Homo-oligomer: A and B are copies of this chain.
Amino acid sequence: MRLSRYFLPVLRDVPAEAQTPSHQLMLRAGLIRQNAAGIYSWLPLGKRVLSKIEQIVREEQERAGAIEILMPTIQSADLWRESGRYDAYGKEMLRITDRHDRELLYGPTNEEMVTDIVRSSVKSYKQLPLNLFHIQWKFRDEIRPRFGIMRGREFLMKDAYSFDLTSEASRLSYYRMFCAYLRTFKRLGLTAIPVRADTGPIGGDLSHEFIVLAETGESAVFCDGRLLELPPPEGALDSPDDLEAEVERHTSYYAATDEMHEPERFTAEVPTDHQMTARGIEVGHIFHFGTKYSEPMSASVTGPDGRETMLQMGSYGIGVSRLVGAAIEAGHDEKGIVWPLEIAPFQVAVVSLRPGDAEVETACEAAYDQLQSAGVDTLYDDTGERPGAKFATLELIGIPVLIVVGPKGLAKGVVEIRQRKTGDTEELGLEAAVARVRELIGA
């Protein structure tokens, strides 16, 4: 993408309404713009990051055997009356009346709707197991929306729903998602740990939150530091034993947010030199709730014994839009955002220090073409801004690697490579620089 043709409205000043680093940086770097309280537009750069996260989440859901569907944002109130949650949900649910005075709502979650879909077409245990996910906008009418998209009202979420015949099988579906989540966050370039969680309004007997560690996180986290060193689950994880072993491996160390923290257990169970206190951001939440929805909604199948059996269910959420903010909270410095490579809006920027200079332009075009052809997301800063302003913007928006092309370097036969995270620079000939950049970003 040529920056001269792009839409990148960066702000030089820190917006007064934004208190957290991610909120400030998302506004400054032109990722989002507020349209109403807690409701945002995703500008081109933000949309790119959001789509990259969405795609990684999707791929890991599919790898774990979940199947993608897409449920609507607007739901009928009647469905929620069946489960008993319509009145229980309170004012956070955005309730709507249509032109025929029918009661609708903007879905905050989809347990009822997906249960309705499955009960209407799944009649036999032979059609199980089943795990359906979708990635769709949700609405939660927060009384005081804040921190930008981190606690906004309209937000993008991946939610998956598992259906099994037995409680044991259902628990394995839960474990499978548990492992998929660890893989997902790892691929996103984030350090996330699972902690036991309250089940809240979703309900159930088993629940974990996944917390991305970030100094500026909203929750205090207490854990055994060795948890952070564990590699994510590998391989197919088809056998129940493998799944259980992986979950056991990641839940055997103490880990809790302040809500569930037990100071005595922490001190007793965790060796002093492994006791770790940190801050973090919830980015995923999984629930195993058995027949909580299938019972009131009569979602059953015929079992192998010929008897009607209520479906065993779990649900599994990832805050896709929230992850954009969490990644920034976890990765930024005084100059701006430091994206993990996997979700950076562009992986590389080619920077012309003297637009209009024929030799500089030729070198820039060559680098740009080669990187684009290699499938590297490349931004080409071909604008007439001064070099200082260019670097300030590219550091603010967090492009991981720059190739800087100027007349002085070219006279010596070199261009400069700059890495955003480390600040490291190297000078190389153009061809070697392109090869080196591809090596750095793994392309």
Which residues of A are in contact with B by a Cβ distance under 8 Å?
Answer: 5-7, 9, 30, 33, 35-37, 39-44, 46-48, 50, 65, 67-76, 79, 91-92, 94, 96, 98-99, 102, 104, 106, 113, 116-117, 120-122, 130, 132, 134, 137, 139, 141, 143, 153-154
Contacts and interface: CB of A to CB of B under 8 A. Distances in A.
A397 to B, nearest CB: 15
A47 B70 CA distance: 6
Contacts of A41: 69-72, 113, 117
A7 B94 contact: no
Contacts of A72: 35, 39-41, 137, 154
Contacts of A68: 44, 47-48
A70 B42 contact: yes
Given A94-B96, A98-B141, A33 B120 contact: yes
5 contacts: A33-B121, A41-B72, A43-B117, A92-B99, A99-B143
Nearest to A30: B121
B117 A33 contact: yes
User: A interface, by DSSP: helix, strand, loop or mixed?
Assistant: mixed
A76 B141 contact: no
A70 B99 contact: no
Nearest to A62: B1
A30 B122 CA distance: 12
A35 B68 CA distance: 17
A223 to B, nearest CB: 35
A72 B42 CA distance: 8
Contact of A98 (B7, B73, B94): B94
Given A7-B132, A44-B67, A113 B35 contact: yes
A16 to B, nearest CB: 15
B5 A75 contact: no
A67 B116 contact: no
Contacts of A76: 35-36, 39
A71 B44 CA distance: 11
B47 A69 contact: yes
A130 B4 CA distance: 11
A63 to B, nearest CB: 13
Given A42-B69, A43-B69, A94-B96, 10 more contacts: A35-B79, A35-B116, A39-B74, A41-B69, A44-B68, A47-B70, A50-B70, A74-B154, A98-B141, A99-B143
B106 A7 contact: no
B67 A6 contact: yes
A421 to B, nearest CB: 27
A51 to B, nearest CB: 8
A7 B130 contact: yes
B7 A67 contact: yes
A411 to B, nearest CB: 30
A30 to B, nearest CB: 8
Nearest to A91: B99
A259 to B, nearest CB: 25
Contacts of A33: 117, 120-121
A343 to B, nearest CB: 16
A432 B104 CA distance: 55
A372 to B, nearest CB: 13
Most buried by B among A70, A96, A98: A70
A73 B39 CA distance: 9
Contacts of A134: 47
B141 A99 contact: yes
Contacts of A30: 121
Nearest to A152: B72
